[in-house]
Amino acid sequence: MLRLVAVTAGLGQPSTARILADRLADAARARLGERGRQVLVEVLELRDLALDIAGAMVAGFPGAKLRAALDAVEGADGLIAVSPIYTASYSGLFKSFFDVLDKDALTGKPTLIAATGGTARHSLALDHALRPMFAYLRAFIVPTAVFAASEDWASAGEGALFERIERSGSELADLMAGAPAAARRRRDEFEDVVPFEQRMVALRSGI
């Protein structure tokens, strides 16, 4: 069974970020079902981890609750990341969570980025803020990012939003089905270190 984790940084209950994350997860689950694959979906609401994230930033290590969330992201076969847009960028809570995540945790992981905001003018934040951050973390970002403005939830705009959700969810599902990440072993940063004795032999022999 594949594992899909959705990380959402909305502050409301429920938040539009959480609603969007649920719809994206449903689209990916439906597509995987068409391919005969089962998926277990876990949603992490960062609002519930805010104090733990702040503590990890100060102390330098996560507590048990945050550690479990970080492990879930690291072990997932696919990731959905949804942030509300504040001041033309992702929220501080969203950024802080990925700051405390291991720098190699998202390497090669199929990732769908999405955001919510009050106006469509904030949609540029997907390509100017979220996409560069996940590219830096070496995630495999699906081509279609999804932005949902307030008007997109109205009946007039919901059809276009639904189409974007279906397209991006399908892209994520196809990547997950083709290259499951959970089976990959995390690369040990010391595995390529040459032993000291071997280095000395090489120096003496002129290699």
Q: pLDDT 10s per residue in the chain (207 long)? A: 999 999 999 998 889 999 999 999 999 999 999 999 999 999 999 999 999 999 999 998 899 999 999 999 999 999 999 999 998 899 999 999 999 999 999 999 999 999 999 888 788 899 999 999 999 999 999 999 999 998 888 765 568 899 999 999 999 999 999 854 444 434 444 444 555 555 555 555 554
Task: Look at strands 146-149 and 39-45 and give their pairing.
Answer: unpaired
Task: Write down the pTM of the prediction.
Answer: 0.84
Start-end of H helices in 76-195: 92-100, 125, 131-136, 155-178
Looking up tokens 């990440």, which residue turns up?
181
Distance CA 128, CA 65 (A): 31
